[in-house]
């Protein structure tokens, strides 16, 4: 059977780092099995869903290199939910309820006060037809709940958590439809998974109780549930859930000039027993992707670690992959020279100024000025001008180490550190290099 996974964001905001990780892992799960990865836009909430967020989701996934094999939109599938609802209603698995939010909150408080779990008491399920008619005659429109079967425990073999078991009597019958007729998450999601042939649902552990409920929905609709796996949630580097993670998305990554390959490399293994490494080759990441490596402990997202991974990824990038993002005139040789000094590609511009100038030279001692004047005179341009220059000066002055190299670097670049001078000096060029040495 072909493995089919799905990523199902609501277009009510931008993707954040937690969404991105879920999308990536579902894509990897499908890719590893030679299956299909589907994008499902959960836009049943007409008031909060916005089309520009749909476009943003597609753009962000494309930027990350996560390509869906198909796309569905819940707003175009209402007839499927209606049909499933009517069948469940006919078999008694959904029922109308008339309590207001205030009444439900009061019930919860009473239950908590008595030391009982705050689950719905199913009072509406036992209403007679006459009592229901009376409610509706008062103008009270019902919301609808799915009736859980309390007879057997709900169990499944979770791909991350192992054997999972729930007592349905300890769960509330979930509301699946509001009084205005609009849908909540639970039933449409199950209907879509059946219709789209989804075989594997990989999502955050905050959905575990939803899975217990939805397993009964699949059964009630005559379908076998997909395989479920629930990964640990992300936390900040302090070990706590961070509101910042909820706003950390592709826009903020792009603003920081973080490479998509770095985000993928980090999130691919975050929360697993495998080390986070700067692996740009997705085939290599896919080769080691395995749900058995996923842990139960919260996965810690650290911005500093992302920066380290990003720097290492940049050091691997070839010229063809960055040429369009480099300053005018910067060729492959220049990229090769400057690349080891970069943490982000956009830093190339400031390093390129070492070549194009102008540079600001420090004040030199009289001894160093005489040394640099001599350097300007003996500079010879050949295959390796830096080696020729330093060898000549070493022999004629007796200087070595820092005394030999640092004044030359400072005069030629205005800096105490930077790219390898053997690669940089040919980029500066003979005329400019001689002029800089002379002016120092």
The binding site for ATP consists of 243
DSSP states along 164-199: EEE-GGGSPPPEEE-TTS-B-SHHHHHHHHHHTT--
Only one residue has tokens 């199950």, namely: 190
DSSP states along 406-428: HHHHHHHHSSSS-S-HHHHHHHH
At 19 the three-state DSSP class reads: helix
225 vs 157: CA distance, rounded Å: 11
320 vs 422: CA distance, rounded Å: 23
CA 311 to chain centre: 18
Please name the helix (run of DSSP H) or strand (run of DSSP E) that holds residue 231, with its range, or none: strand 227-231
> Which residues are known binding-site members?
243
Angle between helices 78-90 and 186-195 (to 10 degrees): 110
At 252 the three-state DSSP class reads: helix
Name, in order, each residue with C-beta under 8 angstroms of 152's C-beta and a sequence gap of 6 or more. 168
Only one residue has tokens 């198909």, namely: 70
């Amino acid at each position: 059977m072909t493995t089919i996974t799905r990523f199902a964001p609501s277009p009510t905001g931008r993707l954040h780092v937690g969404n991105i990780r879920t999308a990536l892992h579902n894509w990897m799960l499908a890719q590893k099995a030679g299956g299909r990865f589907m994008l499902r836009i959960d836009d049943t909430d007409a008031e909060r869903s916005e089309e520009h967020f749909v476009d943003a989701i597609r753009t962000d996934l494309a930027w990350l290199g996560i390509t869906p094999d198909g796309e569905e939109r819940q707003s175009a599938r209402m007839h499927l939910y209606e049909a499933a609802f009517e069948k469940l209603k006919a078999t008694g698995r959904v029922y109308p309820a008339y309590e207001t939010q205030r009444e439900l909150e009061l019930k919860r408080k009473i239950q908590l006060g008595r030391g009982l779990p705050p689950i719905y008491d199913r009072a509406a399920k036992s209403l007679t037809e006459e009592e229901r008619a009376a409610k509706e005659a008062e103008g009270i429109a019902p919301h609808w709940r799915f009736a859980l079967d309390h007879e057997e425990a709900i169990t499944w073999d979770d791909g991350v958590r192992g054997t999972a078991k729930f007592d349905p009597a300890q769960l509330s019958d979930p509301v699946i439809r509001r009084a205005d007729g609009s849908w909540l998450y639970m039933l449409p999601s199950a209907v879509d998974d059946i219709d789209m042939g989804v075989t594997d649902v990989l999502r955050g552990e905050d959905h575990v109780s939803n899975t217990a409920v939805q397993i009964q929905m699949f059964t009630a609709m005559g379908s076998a549930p997909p395989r479920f796996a629930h990964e640990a949630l992300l936390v900040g580097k302090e070990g706590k859930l961070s509101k910042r993670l909820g706003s950390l998305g592709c826009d903020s990554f792009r603003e920081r000039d973080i490479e998509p390959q770095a985000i993928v490399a980090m999130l691919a293994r975050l929360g697993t027993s495998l080390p986070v490494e700067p692996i740009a080759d997705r085939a290599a990441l896919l080769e080691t992707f395995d749900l058995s490596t996923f842990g139960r402990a919260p996965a810690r997202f650290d911005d500093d670690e992302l920066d380290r991974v990003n720097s290492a990824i940049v050091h691997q990038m070839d010229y063809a992959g960055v040429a369009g993002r480099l300053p005018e005139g910067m060729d492959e040789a220049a990229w090769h020279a400057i690349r080891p000094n970069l943490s982000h590609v956009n830093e190339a511009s400031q390093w390129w100024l070492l070549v194009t100038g102008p540079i600001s030279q420090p004040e030199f001692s009289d001894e160093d000025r005489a040394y640099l004047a001599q350097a300007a005179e003996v500079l010879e341009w050949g295959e390796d001008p830096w080696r020729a220059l330093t060898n000549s000066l070493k022999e004629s002055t007796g200087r070595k180490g820092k005394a030999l190299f640092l004044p030359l670097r400072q005069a030629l670049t205005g800096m105490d550190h930077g790219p390898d001078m053997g690669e940089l000096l040919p980029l500066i060029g003979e005329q400019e290099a001689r002029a800089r040495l002379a002016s120092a």
